[in-house]
Amino acid sequence: MGLPRILTIDFLRRAYRSGTLSPLDVIEAVIGRIAACSDPAVWISRFDDETLRAMARVLGETPSPDMPLWGIPFAVKDNIDVAGLATTAACPAFAYRPTADAAVVARLRAAGALPVGKTNLDQFATGLNGTRSPYGAPRSVFSADHVSGGSSSGSAVAVAAGLVPFSLGTDTAGSGRVPAAFNNLVGVKPTKGMLPTSGVVPACRSLDCVSIFGATAAEADLVRRIAAGPDADDAYSREGTDVALPETGLRVGVPVGVEREFFGDTANADLFEVAIRRTERLGCTIVDIDFAPFREAANLLYAGPWVAERMAAVERFHADHADDMDPHVRAIVEGALGLTAVDAFRGQYALEAFRRKTRATWAAVDVLLLPTTPLFPTVEAMRADPIGLNAKLGRYTNFVNLLDCAGIAVPAGFRADGLPFGVTLIGPAFSDTALALWGDRLHRAAAGGMGLDRDADLATMAVPPGPEVERLPIAVVGAHLSGMPLNVQLTGAGGVLLKKCRTAGDYRLYALPGTVPPKPGLIRAPGFAGPGLEVEVWALPVAAFARFVAEIPPPLGIGRITLEDGDSVPGFLCEAHALQGAQEITPHGGWRAYCASA
Amino acid sequence: MGLPRILTIDFLRRAYRSGTLSPLDVIEAVIGRIAACSDPAVWISRFDDETLRAMARVLGETPSPDMPLWGIPFAVKDNIDVAGLATTAACPAFAYRPTADAAVVARLRAAGALPVGKTNLDQFATGLNGTRSPYGAPRSVFSADHVSGGSSSGSAVAVAAGLVPFSLGTDTAGSGRVPAAFNNLVGVKPTKGMLPTSGVVPACRSLDCVSIFGATAAEADLVRRIAAGPDADDAYSREGTDVALPETGLRVGVPVGVEREFFGDTANADLFEVAIRRTERLGCTIVDIDFAPFREAANLLYAGPWVAERMAAVERFHADHADDMDPHVRAIVEGALGLTAVDAFRGQYALEAFRRKTRATWAAVDVLLLPTTPLFPTVEAMRADPIGLNAKLGRYTNFVNLLDCAGIAVPAGFRADGLPFGVTLIGPAFSDTALALWGDRLHRAAAGGMGLDRDADLATMAVPPGPEVERLPIAVVGAHLSGMPLNVQLTGAGGVLLKKCRTAGDYRLYALPGTVPPKPGLIRAPGFAGPGLEVEVWALPVAAFARFVAEIPPPLGIGRITLEDGDSVPGFLCEAHALQGAQEITPHGGWRAYCASA
């Protein structure tokens, strides 16, 4: 069976379920693709072919298609521990051999996924460009002259080139988003603390996130949910309740015109305007926002005391091996020298002030829509201006972890020169699930395929689930039916239509005299063999359900209604005394039909 | 009209409402009491008598008894700005004259309260003992030999001595709680960020809270709620939703026996055991907890990088005026010298690790009950060991702001030597309202009066309101009545009984055959003139209401029931078809009476 150019979890799961492929088949294909890949800088190390085959065989002998990632190969950024492979953080002198998987890797393995190897990165995850590594500079899959983005450079290229369906990166300043933009991928930057960082070499411990590159938002978000959850070994691990976003009419903040800075890259500037219009066509409301406090908060990351976190992470190594470090990375880390504890707290105060300033924006918008990066440098340009150009790359990413937001970078079309452009949706902490839904819509609307395959059709691929809101069912029979006068009480309260069907046969329906708007009354009449009455089963968020029920006027109320399929759900019934003198309309089969006939 | 020994908001409001006192009468009494007070170290400055009288007259000319603090005098710790008085932070060389009130003072003035003056404190709010001030050392109102506690020393004494009904303090390490314990008062330490700190001289800006001393929990909590709320000028200002605590069966964590350290003060040790037993008698469940991670987190405050926040607050002043500082305060602040930004972030990491460790405790308990202080030093002992003894005083308070908890210190009885003992309830952030309710219960149960007045009777004073939970009413008629088998479905879901009454006369009740547990069915029968049926109206939290309704089995459901007083509320009705063959029990007047007769 032929494999698609871009491997996806969706394709492999279907193939495994139908028996057309085995994990060993897939691993053989992965081995072949890695060998054929023209970019020599993607991997720092990987399991040898025989080990990979053995892992696939073991998995194949215990088929567990219920495991959500059973037989799915993935790549791991080389600052995340995988037992059996060295962790280098792209610094050979720093390398160590971990005895255990990082918590996220262990969770993905437990879900059936197969780690293939460790990918290249900007040393110590310090950089957004992909050129700061002694293991070479990976390139965008669309141009051998252009950077891959970083710091999670190899992980992005591995997915975009079709070597593996997903990969793990890390993201402190944008390392899980910039490479997504440069390789036509989705990059999920989860809420801080949602995915454990135990077994990950720190960059800035208070900000670091494990991130996921995937072909689609659905796939990257699936991996996020599997890897997420509390971890006793990670002090920054935290739990939160899913924050919902509107499912329609999303309010999308974009930088006000003068703040749309692309440093002269008009191709990107134009594509951002196109992305805004496309977002509007999805029914979103565009809101111009003041981007200044976000941008200014971002300056704290490299121009403020947070570089001391990078020093804290490598202080002992730096003391003995400063000369073994990439010179640019070393210069950044050494920015911590001379910074005092007072400076550190002053930085915290400044950050809190920016957080306060951005609250007005968050009151006016649900998410931000930003260019993932303003420009797309060549490797040559990057090497000519390694610090300045890197800072420009992070213009729209650096603030996100400092201000405790979640983000998802998605493809947003191609420039005339064939290079991709990407945008990022930013939401409040714990809005990840809802962000994935909207990120998926943007990605599909851009119609630029995934990774190297610009023509890939996403239409057949799974959509990520919406945020999990606890809802309770309620069967409506009269003025609350779709299109009827009181239906707005359901839709306005976040109700969703579950199904249209009929009651069991032993119900009778009456037109209640004198009701405004006109309403019917339903009662059960055991033994009666009628046609069953038209009902709609809606689901209301729990609190809305309660308020709705508490407001129902007599003689109506909520009992339990048996449906034609035998299910029973809460639904509208009528007190029997109110039917005296009321016209029975059961033969019409429902309130809608009766109203149409009247 | 005579004033009570301890002034209370409750007394003054009643007197103002009945017209027996005017604000000017009260201010005259306050002036007289201040003049007669034997402790010369309470005030650093205050408005002169004529200014106070003028303020009271202005207020008296615009009677607004609806203003919640109309005509209530209060004292302000002298690190909080009051326009018209200098702010010294107990350091004369640091003094400045603010042009505006601190945000909290402005809010209290807007509510009608009258600031009387500025009270003494440990310099720069650095200390828990009250002896670190050039303005003298206030004493506990119970002993001229013993410290008042600090740093909010004068504010506590002002209330405990009956000079004003409430006062403002600040609390970083325990400064709003320790003096409460030493003066038989309630000290409310609100959730960080709930009360703005703009216009307050910082101690540790990321931890500082404005606190309130009051005679009762109700009064201190009333002031908290008036002063609380977002403030655009305070970057650490934050909003949150009230966190509820169980209204019965509170799980109360206490340090496991070996961690109950009193440094040889057996009187306090004994009173803490008494307080635990008293808490049990209030229906709480006592849970032994591991106090070590709380205690170890507390060490970060003075032995870790947080002293750099104290330096950040006074760095410029310290550069020119170090010799003008209290030597102990100076030594503490200078602990910041040599601390690097790396040290500061390492401190954050350590704190996060302790936060993580304490999560297991918070899963097992609702609140902590701790001694407010382990011991009660004399001024002489304090001066002999100013740093070591201060550290001991903070053993049970220092962790609270670092770990983002709310707290309330309440009186807990008296020792044989006539000195008071206090305990503190600690809850999660934003549990303040619920904490006040439980703190009030503990205070009343201790029966040791308030402030100087050990015999004051709290029984007639207002109880703080419980947390505001949105509930919906539901009338029950059968197995859910109090004492009946399904009543636990209501009590277990946070239900509260609103009233016991009867339905209107036109309802009939039937015993439903074959139901388990046995249940009745209620229907309305317009025109029927019956006795009315016994119902109980309960109120369920919104989500619990929804789940409860969604689970009701047929033929029962929720309609709207008219009560004997004409009110109508959601309540249990029965489908009419189920009453065929059922025995009518209406003449019994209700399900309970029927069951008793059967």
Checking if the pLDDT of B121 tops 80, the result is yes
Q: What is the mean pLDDT of chain A?
A: 94
All residues of chain B having their beta carbon less than 8 Å from the beta carbon of residue A472 are: 546-547, 550
CA-CA distance, A585 to B9, in Å (whole number)?
A: 65
Looking at residue A222, its pLDDT comes to: 94
Whether A497 is covered by a domain: the verdict is yes
CA-CA distance, B102 to B86, in Å (whole number)?
A: 12
User: Do A340 and A226 touch, CB atoms closer than 8 A?
Assistant: no
- pLDDT per residue over A345-354, tens digit each? 999 999 999 9
- pLDDT per residue over A375-408, tens digit each? 999 999 999 999 999 999 999 999 999 999 999 9
**Paired tokens of B410:** 């309440």
All residues of chain A having their beta carbon less than 8 Å from the beta carbon of residue B573 are: 557, 575
Of A543, A557, A576, the CB nearest to B560: A557
Whether B305 is covered by a domain: the verdict is no
* Closest to A63 in 3D by CA, of A11, A9, A13: A13
Helix (H) or strand (E) holding A363: helix A341-364
**Paired tokens of B33:** 């009491």
- pLDDT per residue over B544-571, tens digit each? 899 999 999 999 999 999 999 999 999 9
Checking if the pLDDT of A65 tops 70, the result is no
* Cβ contact B549–A547 (<8 Å): no
- pLDDT per residue over A248-298, tens digit each? 889 999 999 999 999 999 999 999 999 999 999 998 999 999 999 999 999
Which DSSP string do the residues of B147-192 spell out, in sequence order? B--SSSHHHHHHHHTTS-SEEEEEESSSTTTHHHHTTT-EEEEPPT
Distance from CA of B557 to the nearest CA of A (A): 4
- Percentage of chain A with pLDDT > 90? 86
Whether A494 is covered by a domain: the verdict is yes
Checking if the pLDDT of B116 tops 80, the result is yes
All residues of chain B having their beta carbon less than 8 Å from the beta carbon of residue A545 are: 546, 549-550
Looking at residue B79, its pLDDT comes to: 98
The residue of chain B with its CA nearest to that of A506 is B577
All residues of chain B having their beta carbon less than 8 Å from the beta carbon of residue A554 are: 524, 559-560, 562, 568
Least confident of A123-127, A547-551, B58-62: B58-62
Q: Assign B112 a pLDDT band (cuts: 50, 70, 90).
A: very high
Strand ranges, E, within A191-258: 209-214, 251-255
Whether A353 is covered by a domain: the verdict is no
Distance from CA of A345 to the nearest CA of B (A): 6
Q: What is each CA distance from A515 to A286, A480, A510, A576, B575, in whole angstroms?
A: 42, 14, 12, 16, 21
- pLDDT per residue over B348-397, tens digit each? 999 999 999 999 899 999 999 999 999 999 999 999 999 999 999 999 99
Helix (H) or strand (E) holding A382: helix A379-384
CA-CA distance, A327 to B285, in Å (whole number)?
A: 60
pLDDT higher at B51 or B233: B51
Whether A523 is covered by a domain: the verdict is yes
* Cβ contact A205–B570 (<8 Å): no
- Percentage of chain B with pLDDT > 70? 99
Q: How deeply is A162 buried, as exposed, middle or buried, from its count of CB atoms within 10 A (0-12, 13-18, 19+)?
A: buried
State the residue for tokens 């197969």. Answer: A114
All residues of chain B having their beta carbon less than 8 Å from the beta carbon of residue A353 are: 235
Q: Assign A468 a pLDDT band (cuts: 50, 70, 90).
A: low
3-state percent breakdown (helix, strand, coil) of chain B, nearest 5: 35, 20, 40
Q: Assign B303 a pLDDT band (cuts: 50, 70, 90).
A: confident
The reply to whether ipTM tops 0.85 is no
3-state secondary structure of B4: coil
Q: Assign B460 a pLDDT band (cuts: 50, 70, 90).
A: confident
* Cβ contact A573–B557 (<8 Å): yes
* CATH of residue A524: 3.10.490.10
- pLDDT per residue over B483-530, tens digit each? 899 998 887 777 777 889 999 999 999 999 999 999 999 999 999 999
Q: Assign A115 a pLDDT band (cuts: 50, 70, 90).
A: very high
Looking at residue B458, its pLDDT comes to: 87
3-state secondary structure of A20: coil
Q: CB contacts < 8 Å between A and B, how many?
A: 178
Q: Assign A469 a pLDDT band (cuts: 50, 70, 90).
A: low
* Cβ contact A336–B342 (<8 Å): yes
Looking at residue A430, its pLDDT comes to: 95
Whether A341 is covered by a domain: the verdict is no
State mean pLDDT over A523-550. Answer: 94
Looking at residue B429, its pLDDT comes to: 97
* Cβ contact B309–A345 (<8 Å): yes
Looking at residue B493, its pLDDT comes to: 78
The residue of chain A with its CA nearest to that of B523 is A575
The residue of chain B with its CA nearest to that of A577 is B525
Query: Cis peptide leading into B64, omega within 30 of 0?
Result: no
Whether A486 is covered by a domain: the verdict is yes
Looking at residue B115, its pLDDT comes to: 98
State mean pLDDT over A27-37. Answer: 97
Whether A501 is covered by a domain: the verdict is yes
Looking at residue B468, its pLDDT comes to: 62
Q: Assign B279 a pLDDT band (cuts: 50, 70, 90).
A: very high
* Closest to A512 in 3D by CA, of A450, A577, A464: A577
Q: How many CA atoms lie within 13 A of B501 on its CB side?
A: 20
Write down the pTM of the prediction. 0.81
State the residue for tokens 């048996």. Answer: A562
Q: How deeply is B595 buried, as exposed, middle or buried, from its count of CB atoms within 10 A (0-12, 13-18, 19+)?
A: middle
Checking if the pLDDT of A576 tops 80, the result is yes
User: Do B521 and B512 touch, CB atoms closer than 8 A?
Assistant: yes
The residue of chain B with its CA nearest to that of A236 is B352
3-state secondary structure of A521: strand
State mean pLDDT over B84-108. Answer: 97
Catalytic residue numbers of B read 77, 151, 175
Number of domains in chain B: 1
Q: Looking at residue B87, what DSSP letter applies?
A: B
Q: Assign A205 a pLDDT band (cuts: 50, 70, 90).
A: very high
Q: Is residue A175 flagged as an active site residue?
A: yes
* Cβ contact A346–B312 (<8 Å): yes
Q: Are strands B471-476 and B534-541 parallel, antiparallel or unpaired?
A: antiparallel
Could you list the residue range(s) of the whole structural domain that residue A593 is in?
471-597
- pLDDT per residue over B395-427, tens digit each? 999 999 999 999 999 999 999 999 999 999 999
* Cβ contact A559–B560 (<8 Å): no
